[in-house]
């Protein structure tokens, strides 16, 4: 198994294009005001088609995290241990991401404040986060 | 439900490795045992309900299984609800029996996740795989971490679950993993996806399992004194991926249990034992709390202090569960509950009256709860 490939769709392409331009965008429903990720054609709250992409502030908090010691694909063998975290943006949407500089999860805590750092990896601009020192 | 439909027979293959065998031939072997156990003729089965095989999903699967059984049933179908599907299938089969659409239903599952492919359990999780998000286990590890953080839970709380399941599996001749586990060995086990350790994780198994349902009146007419009545069933779905749920530590297992207990008309403290879906140890602690058997955050400490054996606080997974008997998704728990209520278990609870079974699937995406009564 090789590095996973992102298949951009008509719905998700704006998300990836924004990251490439240095922004993390989320979808916002013009009908009901709900905000969400990942990309969908309709608002999951009110089912409206009428949404727009808005830039996130880049601030968020940790909901939970794990540290992989097992590599589930060959390209991950040189990365273990590495963390994957659930992050909630201050605007509400959540995403699955990584906390930089803390491969083994050291110093992470639920609700710890974060800021966005966009890194290029596997040829893609990816949204990652770093702990904000109190 | 309230006892109008019964489990008339149960059967399963040994669990573990069945190299070279097909999932459907494992189903037929288990079904043959269940049919013999129920004492009905094979051709009297007019409903075939099969859970899709996790490791190798197949189109028109209900029909392929029926063909192998030499049947042309009134209802033949397959269901995908992850690990909640077996109680789900029982629910729909029991309703069809109650409605007079069918008379005898076979619920069955077979898979070769051990010697065949287990790629599904290690799979990349959509676009998030680029962040390193792989495997089924990782979703549960995320819940495990949230549980540790919110409740300052000790590793021993999770270990108590694993040790109890392994103790029971060691005494089950058909179990896959018959090696008991000490708490010290659990704690010394390596992290796979921290905070989850090796012994927090269920087995990968080949095997087949089957149960036969019929109407209570029908079972009585046939003189089946070992029929186990279905008293309550409930389902509730989380559906959203782990990271999108508002609270990782409050699942809709609660709603599924509420429905099942209301139907059965019994209280939580009347349960004689629980066969809980122990795909990972955190699932057990979470389900106990969602079911209202302890307050939030207290299941682990109570399990450690008061035990999960037949003489403990909550006799749990008496045939070893997914951690020790078989990693197949959930039918083995229903079969063990029926054996307990017939007084035929290897690790027998004394005079059980009511048995509780949880099924769940995905990363706690789906939930189903079953309450059975004593045989007779």
> In which band, very low, low, confident or very high, does the pLDDT at A12 lie, cut at 50, 70 and 90?
very high
Average pLDDT over residues B22-31: 97
Using an 8 Å Cβ cutoff, are B35 and B215 in contact? no
B90: pLDDT strictly greater than 80: yes
List A residues 86-115 in contact with B (Cβ-Cβ < 8 A): 86, 94-98, 104-105, 109-110
Record: contact B130-A70, CB cut-off 8 A:
no
Q: What is the pLDDT of residue B282?
A: 98
Give the mutation candidate from A3, A4, A108 for the B interface (greatest B CB count, under 10 A): A4
The stretch B40-50 carries a mean pLDDT of: 97
User: Chain A within 8 Å of B145 (Cβ-Cβ)?
Assistant: yes
Percent of chain B with pLDDT over 70: 100
Are A63 and B131 in contact (CB < 8 Å)? Answer: no
Indicate yes or no: CB of B122 within 8 angstroms of CB of A72: yes
Q: Cα Rg for chain B, rounded, in angstroms? A: 19
Q: What b/e sequence results for B263-301 when a residue is b if at least 16 CB atoms lie within 10 Å of its CB, and e otherwise?
A: bbebeeeebbbbbbbbbbbbbbbbbbbbbebbeebbbbb
Q: What is the pLDDT of residues B107-127, one digit of tens each?
A: 999 999 999 988 889 999 999
Name the pLDDT band for A1 (thresholds 50, 70, 90).
Answer: low
The first and second tokens of residue B193, run together, are 């996806």
Closest residue in chain A to residue B131, using alpha carbons only: A97
Find which of B122, B132, B137 to mutate to test the A interface (most A CBs within 10 Å of its CB): B132
ipTM, two decimals, is: 0.97
- Which residues, listed in sequence order, are joined to residue B124 by a DSSP beta bridge? B134
Chain B: closest CA distance from residue A32 (Å): 19
Render pLDDT for B153-203 as a digit per residue (tens, 0 to 9): 999 999 999 999 999 999 999 999 999 999 999 999 999 999 999 999 999
Q: Does B92 touch chain A (CB under 8 A)?
A: no
Position B56 confidence tier, pLDDT thresholds 50, 70, 90: confident
Q: Please list the residues that pair with B274 across neighbouring strands.
A: B316, B356
Q: Please name which of A119, A118, A121, A109 lies closest in space to residue A131, comparing C-alpha atoms.
A: A109
Closest-CA residue of chain B to A3: B130
What is the model's pLDDT at position B70?
Answer: 98
pTM: 0.97
CA-CA-CA-CA dihedral for A66, B324, B299, B277, to nearest 10? 80
In sign, the C-alpha dihedral spanning B120, B125, B126, B129 is negative
In CATH terms, is domain B5-117+204-229 a member of 3.40.50.300?
A: no
pLDDT of B290 above 90: yes
| Residue spans in chain B of domains classed CATH 3.40.47.10 | 5-117+204-229, 135-203+230-373
- A vs B: CB pairs below 8 A: 85
Q: Please check whether residue B254 is in contact with residue B237, taking contact to mean a CB–CB distance below 8 angstroms.
A: no
Question: Does the structure show a pLDDT above 80 at B30?
Answer: yes
Q: How far is A124 from chain B (nearest CA, A)?
A: 9
Q: Do B194 and A81 touch (CB under 8 A)?
A: yes
- Give residue-wise pLDDT tens across range B342-357: 999 999 999 999 999 9
Interchain CB contact of A32 with B (< 8 Å)? no
Q: Which site among B145, B280, B282 would you substitute to test the A interface, given the most A Cβ atoms closer than 10 Å to its Cβ? A: B145
Among A39, A61, A84, most B C-beta atoms within 10 A, so best to mutate, is A84
Given CB atoms, is B196 within the 8 Å cutoff of chain A?
yes
Q: Any bridge partners for residue B76, and if so which?
A: B48
User: Would an 8 Å CB–CB cutoff place A3 in contact with chain B?
Assistant: yes
pLDDT digits 0-9 by tens, A98-125: 999 999 999 999 999 999 999 999 999 9
- Least confident range from B65-79, B108-122, B270-284: namely B108-122
- CA-CA-CA-CA torsion sign (B278, B282, B287, B288): positive
| Residue B152 contacts A where some CB pair is shorter than 8 Å | no
Phi, psi (5° rounding) for residue B357? -130, 135
- CATH code of B135-203+230-373, in short, is 3.40.47.10
Measured at the alpha carbon of residue B249, what is the angle toward residues B246 and B255, in degrees to the nearest 5?
85
Asked if B194 and A84 come within 8 Å (Cβ–Cβ), the reply is no
Q: Which two tokens stand for residue A125?
A: 């601009």
**Could you say which of B122, B131, B192 has the minimum Cβ distance to residue A96?**
B131
Averaged pLDDT score across all residues of chain A: 96
pLDDT at B57 (0 to 100): 82
């Amino acid at each position: 198994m090789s590095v996973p490939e992102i298949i951009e769709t008509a719905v998700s392409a704006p998300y990836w294009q924004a990251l490439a331009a240095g922004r993390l965008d989320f979808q916002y429903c013009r009908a009901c005001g709900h905000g969400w990720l990942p990309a969908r054609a309709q608002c999951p709250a009110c089912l409206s088609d009428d949404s727009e992409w808005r830039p996130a502030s880049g601030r968020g908090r940790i909901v939970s995290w794990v540290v992989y010691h097992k590599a589930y694909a060959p390209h991950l063998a040189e990365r273990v241990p590495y963390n994957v975290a659930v992050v909630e943006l201050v605007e509400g949407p959540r995403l699955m991401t990584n906390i930089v500089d803390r491969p083994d999860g050291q110093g992470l805590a639920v609700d710890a404040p974060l800021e966005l750092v966009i890194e290029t990896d596997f040829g893609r601009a990816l949204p990652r986060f770093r702990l904000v020192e109190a | 439900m309230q006892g109008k439909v019964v489990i008339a027979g149960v059967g399963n293959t040994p669990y573990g490795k069945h190299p070279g065998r097909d999932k459907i031939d494992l189903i037929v072997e288990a079904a043959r045992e269940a049919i013999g156990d129920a004492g009905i003729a094979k051709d009297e089965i007019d409903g075939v309900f099969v859970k899709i095989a996790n490791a190798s999903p197949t189109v028109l699967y209900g029909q392929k299984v029926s063909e192998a059984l030499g049947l042309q049933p009134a209802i033949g179908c397959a269901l995908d609800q992850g690990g909640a599907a077996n109680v789900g299938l029982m629910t729909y089969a029991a309703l069809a029996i109650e409605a007079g659409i069918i008379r005898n239903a076979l619920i069955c599952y077979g898979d070769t996740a051990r010697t065949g492919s287990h790629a599904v359990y290690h799979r990349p999780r959509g676009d998030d795989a680029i962040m390193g998000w792989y495997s089924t286990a990782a979703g549960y590890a995320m819940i495990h971490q949230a549980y540790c953080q919110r409740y300052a839970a000790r590793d021993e709380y999770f270990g108590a679950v694993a040790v109890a399941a392994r103790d029971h599996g060691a005494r089950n001749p058909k179990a896959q993993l018959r090696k008991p586990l000490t708490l010290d060995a659990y704690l010394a086990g390596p992290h796979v996806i921290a905070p989850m350790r090796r012994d927090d994780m269920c087995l990968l198994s080949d095997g087949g399992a089957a149960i036969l349902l019929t109407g209570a009146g029908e079972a009585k007419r046939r003189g089946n004194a070992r029929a186990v009545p279905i008293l309550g069933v409930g389902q509730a779905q989380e559906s959203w991926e782990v990271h999108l749920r508002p609270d990782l530590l409050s699942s809709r297992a609660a709603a599924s249990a509420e429905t099942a207990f209301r139907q059965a008309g019994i209280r939580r403290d009347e349960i004689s034992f629980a066969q809980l879906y122990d795909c990972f140890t955190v699932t057990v602690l979470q389900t106990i709390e969602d079911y209202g058997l302890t307050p939030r955050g207290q299941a682990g400490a109570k399990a450690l202090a008061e035990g999960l054996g037949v003489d403990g606080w909550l006799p749990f997974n008496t045939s070893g569960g997914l951690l020790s008997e078989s990693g197949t998704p959930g039918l083995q728990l229903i079969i063990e509950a029926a054996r307990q209520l017939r007084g035929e278990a290897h690790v027998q609870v004394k005079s059980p009256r009511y048995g509780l079974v949880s099924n769940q699937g995905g990363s706690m995406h789906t939930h189903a709860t079953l309450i059975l009564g004593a045989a007779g």
